[in-house]
Structure 1
Amino acid sequence: MQRRTLSRFDEIIKVFRKYDFDKVLGQTTRNKISPFRSDADNKELLKEDFPERLRLMFQELGTTFIKFGQLLASRPDLVGERISEELSQLHDDNPPVSFEEIKEMIETQLGGNIEDLFEEFSENALATASIAQVHEAKLHTGERVAVKVQKANVEEIVETDLSIMKFIANESDRFNTSFKHLNLPAVLHEFDKSIHKEMDFDNELMNIRHLSDNFKYNDKIIVPTTYPDYSNEKVLTMEYVEGVKLSEVIAGDDPKYNKILIADRIVRSYFQQLFIDGFFHADPHPGNIFVTDDNAICYIDFGMMGVLDEEFRQDLAELMIYFSDRNIDGLINQLIRMDILNEKTDINILKSDLNDLFAKYYGVELSRFNGIIEDLLFLMQKFDVRLPNEFVLMARGLSMVENTGLRLDPDIDVVALLKPFARKLMVQRYNPLKMANNAKISFFAFEHVLRALPSLISKTIYKVEEGEVTVNIEVKHISEIANQLSLAIIIAALLVGSSLVMLIDVGPRFYEMPVLGFVGFTISLALGVFTVLRYFIDF
């Protein structure tokens, strides 16, 4: 490790020790990580206040760990309900950095003096977080803009922390059975991609353009205009939208804001993102939505977006219909078709648990999901089902939007708004032209397989001849196989023996046949019938 990394590593170790997490690491005299020492350490670590200590530790360790904690909060299927709820309280609000630092970053990144780039530039931040802060400005062409500027050294801090976190994750996964089910290296890999996307403002600019194009015919859903000439991977300049945060609208009672209309627009716009466009805002909490004076909706903060392909959207729509109809068999079959459940899942127990889950909401019209989605995610954790990341992002976003809609309009029927979108996708799936196109694609794929088959067979035969193929055969129920084989040998011996007896013209006869041969054939027939019947019964 480099000197900076070692220094940060020592700092992390001290904070781990402060919150009694050094038992996770099991320190040596060199402050290196070693495995757990005993089961007693595991039990001590995982005591009741574990989630709270974890949150406080992440909060103290700063930007990267806070972001990681927020990711874990969005994955109740991995960490469980208690930890997810506790980590959802993490905040990445930081005090604003000085205007001099912001000015230096802008001039370095955009290659000019700030006075030449902007006619006006406010020294006071509109908003600040751990990675960036936003300032109001005015271009020389007259447009009012919001300029999002990445804080100095953030990328270096994140890279240092990531290298240490990956080391900790790999060691924990190797030695710690208590955390092995989390697959921490895979979670860190997912987090690595996520935070790099969030730090890349070029990526965010493209996200804004994509979402803007999806709502270009809806003037009540506003996505800010971007200014690429004043943007790069660390600076993002976009349209300044007049409005107030949705959180203020929810908390207030200003009559100019029609809460019922706002709720309807937010829910419908989100369903369009999920089911029609397949490109959705993954963090639609009230702080990331603004409302204008004419009740138009404006999304902000586009660093985290989700993507759903057409097949997944259609599967998701079908899943939602089964879900809202309380069709448990259909729900399970759809989860199997989506490769979310596999042969290791005990379907009977899952079905029983789903019955219990829906019984919890018995007598309640599913006009809303009312926390049932979160319950489903927690149930998946119980069965050790690893949900696709996009599925979890979708479920989390849908839950946020429903909660927002209910706070604005307690009578909103979320499921009624959902069904037209879901049914539209179902109609598209079974459209004759669509099915014909799918058949054509399948035909071409099958044709490619047939064309490659002779070559594959030749290669396989060659490898067999060269002794390069090893076949592993797992034999189960060996005693039953041995009994069946012994019975087959006896039947064969009786048949052969009886046939030989038939050729000998001695001894008592029955209908012109030697009695001994007749008895042998009869016993062989009986045993043969018994064997066949037993096979079909077992099958």
Structure 2
Amino acid sequence: MIRFVRNSFRLLAMARTLARYDALFPLALVPGGKLVAFLARLTAPFSRRSDLPPGKRLARALEELGPAFIKLGQTLATRSDLIGDDVAADLSSLQDRLPPFSAKIAKRIITEQLDEPFDVLFAEFDEQPVAAASIAQVHFATTTDGREVAVKVLRPDIKVRFARDMDLFYWVAEIVELTQPRLRRLKPIETVKALEDSVHLEMDLRFEAAAASEFRDNFEDDPSYYIPQIDWERTAEHVMTMERVKGVRIDNVEALDRMGIDRSDLLAKAAGAFFQQVFRDGFFHADMHPGNLFVDENGRVSLVDFGIMGRVDKQTRLYLAEMLLGFLTRDYHRVAEVHFEAGYVPRNQSLEHFQQACRSIGEPILGKELADISVGRLLGQLFQITEQFGMETQPQLLMLQKTMIVAEGLSRILSPNENMWELSRPLIEDWMRENLGPEAKVKEATLQAGTMLRRLPRVLEAAEQASAVFTEQGLRLHPDTVAAMRGKSGNGQRKSGGVSRQTLVLWVAIAALAVAVYLK
């Protein structure tokens, strides 16, 4: 009851903020949301109509509501199936910016976390942060051994504030699942859980450091893509120190042109790197906005901020590659088959009808000029027909789809007349040959055989132990089992119809055990 009252008041307070920005439309998903919206409009000061698109109005309201709501907005940006394609696109540009906290507090946190005097750690420290977001802020510094670094410091008390807001999100999601059966397939509680897991990882900067380290290993042999090195001695739960990268933002086309950078070549490098992240590694950067990518004078791309990462398992990558190639080659029958094979569409649905739906989505998009084709939007529209075909939400693909849209927007800034997916197509085809061709199948069979051989000693050992117990202690059967073997029921009555299948199985099992003992 206390939770209900507390969260009801918090929901109304949130609604009043939404009302000020004319962004109450998400409350339509919540039972009783229309009443809450009505009360919010009555009580909210300066509530007014706005000419901005709904998604931009919602983005501004979420920015005012604070860190957890900004993260919620970023999560909703991946849920075009829930809020619509246009609103999701507007939320993709949600600015994760907050006023910075003081450098004095940042230094105190660094000293406490690293358990060293500050002047032992850093010779210089820029007190004005270069970035201040919902989770942390970043300062440039120089270590006592002369290395230029970027120091990320977690906001004080951020965990307490997030825990309070997450309770509200769970409460709303639970009500939606309980009262709105048609929305259960969208998995609102699972969406909140994914947000919570992501935020928990972001609030322990050691996990972000580990992600950066793994990413660096993945691209160690790629001279066109650079991941800064982590300073583990100056990294802890609330502090992360990494090598400082220099260059211009990848969307600063004027600066790139002055530097003599070939933007078409740069796009090819970026498209190749994105392909490697998704298909080769199954581990991709899920926050690839232009502020996280920098280009140096040699045209090398450096990537920063590894707080939001995505993973795609091998089987999903295979399905995704076939799906993308099917759309790009207009093989809608294969696209539909892949969805059924992956289990994304239930078997009781019509393959032919789903193929027709895929064509209705693909043709309007693929019929455009090559440079205007958006695979991210294509997947977004595909997710929007999920209700018609009983498809459940696939959270890992939703995050990837949002990342695709951001990457496509960046590609159009760099080279408006080229398409990153056409540049990546040969890479996808080669990867599929390597992973779905005859050699790949032989390799997979060999690996499975090796796994079985490694397990064989344990299986034989278990059989030996069972045989020893049988030899030393004999085989004791439950009275009901004996009755079943004699063809009688549990109450002593003989069953009709001859020997049952269960009886036959029991006798075969006992015979097998007897043979094992004899051979021993």
* TM-score, normalized by the shorter chain, greater than 0.5: yes
Residue identity matched to 2:410: T
Per the alignment, do residues 408 and 100 of structure 1 end up closer, same or farther by CA in structure 2, a change over 3 Å counting? same
Tell me if 1:36 matches 2:32.
yes
Tell me if 1:401 matches 2:407.
yes
Contact 1:136 1:147 in 2 (8 A): yes
Per the alignment, do residues 363 and 437 of structure 1 end up closer, same or farther by CA in structure 2, a change over 3 Å counting? closer
Partner of 1:113: 117
Tell me if 1:370 matches 2:376.
no
Tell me if 1:327 matches 2:331.
yes
Tell me if 1:73 matches 2:77.
yes
Per the alignment, do residues 7 and 113 of structure 1 end up closer, same or farther by CA in structure 2, a change over 3 Å counting? farther
**Cα distance per residue 1:261-302 (max 9 Å; x no partner):** 221211111111112122211121211101112111001111
* Structure 1 residue 193, shift from structure 2 partner: 0.8
Contact 1:245 1:290 in 2 (8 A): yes
Contact 2:340 2:346 in 1 (8 A): yes
Contact 1:250 1:407 in 2 (8 A): no
Contact 1:134 1:149 in 2 (8 A): yes
* Structure 1 residue 106, shift from structure 2 partner: 0.6
Distance 1:276 1:250 in 2: 33
Distance 1:36 1:437 in 2: 56
Q: For 1:126-525, list aligned pairs within 5 A.
A: 126-176=130-180, 180=184, 182-249=186-253, 253-361=257-365, 363-364=367-368, 367=370, 370-384=373-387, 385-432=391-438, 434-439=440-445
Give 3-state SS (helix, strand or coil) of 2:252's partner: helix
Distance 2:77 2:156 in 1: 27
Distance 1:57 1:236 in 2: 30
Contact 2:70 2:134 in 1 (8 A): no
Residue identity matched to 1:15: M
Q: Which stretch shows the higher mean deviation, 306-315 or 436-445? A: 436-445
Q: Which stretch shows the higher mean deviation, 268-277 or 12-21? A: 12-21
Distance 1:207 1:81 in 2: 30
* Structure 1 residue 396, shift from structure 2 partner: 2.4
Task: Count how many residue pairs are aligned between Structure 1 and Structure 2.
Answer: 449
Contact 1:79 1:182 in 2 (8 A): no
Partner of 1:19: 18
Counterpart of 2:97 (choices 93, 114, 122) is 93
**Cα distance per residue 1:246-271 (max 9 Å; x no partner):** 23236874243332222121111111
* Structure 1 residue 179, shift from structure 2 partner: 5.2
Partner of 2:498: none
* Structure 1 residue 124, shift from structure 2 partner: 1.2
Residue identity matched to 2:272: R
Q: Which stretch shows the higher mean deviation, 189-198 or 385-394? A: 385-394
Distance 1:327 1:90 in 2: 36
Give 3-state SS (helix, strand or coil) of 1:331's partner: helix
Contact 2:335 2:355 in 1 (8 A): no
Distance 2:325 2:114 in 1: 50
Distance 1:211 1:305 in 2: 10
Contact 1:276 1:421 in 2 (8 A): no
Contact 1:24 1:172 in 2 (8 A): no
Distance 1:144 1:399 in 2: 33
Give 3-state SS (helix, strand or coil) of 1:322's partner: helix
* Structure 1 residue 239, shift from structure 2 partner: 0.3
Partner of 1:537: none
Structure 1 unpaired stretches of 5+: 27-33, 453-457, 468-539
Per the alignment, do residues 133 and 359 of structure 1 end up closer, same or farther by CA in structure 2, a change over 3 Å counting? same
* Structure 1 residue 413, shift from structure 2 partner: 4.1
Distance 1:239 1:60 in 2: 32
Structure 2 unpaired stretches of 5+: 41-48, 463-476, 492-520
**Cα distance per residue 1:26-71 (max 9 Å; x no partner):** 9xxxxxxx95399x989999x9987566444423321001101111
Tell me how large the CA RMSD over aligned residues is.
3.8
Distance 2:325 2:107 in 1: 52
Distance 1:371 1:419 in 2: 14
Contact 1:250 1:408 in 2 (8 A): no
Contact 2:135 2:158 in 1 (8 A): yes
Contact 2:68 2:166 in 1 (8 A): yes
Residue identity matched to 1:404: L
Distance 1:165 1:229 in 2: 37
Contact 2:288 2:407 in 1 (8 A): yes
Per the alignment, do residues 315 and 11 of structure 1 end up closer, same or farther by CA in structure 2, a change over 3 Å counting? closer
Q: Which has the larger radius of gyration?
A: 1
**Cα distance per residue 1:396-451 (max 9 Å; x no partner):** 22332232122111232433422222222222224555423433566778999x99
Contact 1:288 1:299 in 2 (8 A): yes
Distance 1:35 1:423 in 2: 47
Give 3-state SS (helix, strand or coil) of 1:226's partner: coil
TM-score scaled by length of structure 1: 0.73
Quote the sequence identity (%).
27
Q: Which stretch shows the higher mean deviation, 178-187 or 203-212? A: 178-187
Contact 1:96 1:128 in 2 (8 A): yes
Distance 2:225 2:209 in 1: 18
**Cα distance per residue 1:373-412 (max 9 Å; x no partner):** 3133223222323342222222222332232122111232
Per the alignment, do residues 293 and 163 of structure 1 end up closer, same or farther by CA in structure 2, a change over 3 Å counting? same
Give 3-state SS (helix, strand or coil) of 1:147's partner: strand
